[in-house]
Amino acid sequence: MVPCTLQLDLPHPQATQHLGQYLGQHCPAGMILLLSGDLGAGKTTLVQGIGVGLGLVEPIASPTFTLVNEYLEGRIPLYHVDLYRLSPAEAASLYLDSYWDPLETTPGLVAIEWGDRLLTPPPDALGITLTDTAAGGRQATLVATTSVHVTLLESLPDYGLLVNEV
């Protein structure tokens, strides 16, 4: 399958959280999100929205110093990974692939901040890049590599987000 790209304008942090909430409500167990963007681009804000969408009561905090936070009480588990402090070689030594191996970990939604630091990205991950815009908001670029991702992205316009390109 040829990757499919969708760009969304996120004019304020609430729009970033709404995108996350949609993902939390609609992503199936076993989905992996590779989040990239500069420091402060909204990766953790997006994951906080995912937590709301999954029905988590516990607030989502960036796992920069713990590396992985597991939230098991939602619709499906959320595994929140932050590779900010790690080099690609250090990230590889974490054996994160256990989070997308259903024989090792209960399938859930894996959100990896600074996912571009992985030497070998997980198979079939949905890429999400957040960038700041001149107007003070953000733009999200989502890159789908599977039919499940494409179906998920095709339903985004109905969710009330601003769609630039399909």
Instruction: Provide φ and ψ at 40, rounded to 5°.
Output: 85, 10
The pLDDT tens digits for 109-160 are 999 999 988 888 887 899 999 999 888 889 999 999 898 998 898 888 654 4
- Of residues 22 and 134, the one with the higher pLDDT is 22
At residue 155, the pLDDT reads 84
Two structure tokens written together for 91: 């990230």
Answer with the residue of higher pLDDT: 69 or 99: 69
pLDDT interval class at 1 (50, 70, 90): low
Q: Is 22 exposed, middle or buried (CB count within 10 Å of its CB: 0-12, 13-18, 19+)? A: buried
Q: Would you say 53 and 24 are in contact if contact means Cβ atoms under 8 Å apart? A: yes
pLDDT score at 64: 66
Average pLDDT over residues 44-64: 90
CATH fold for the domain made of 4-165: Rossmann fold (3.40.50)
Does residue 63 surpass a pLDDT of 80? no
Query: What's the mean pLDDT when you consider all of the chain?
Result: 87
Separation CA 30–CA 13 (nearest Å): 27
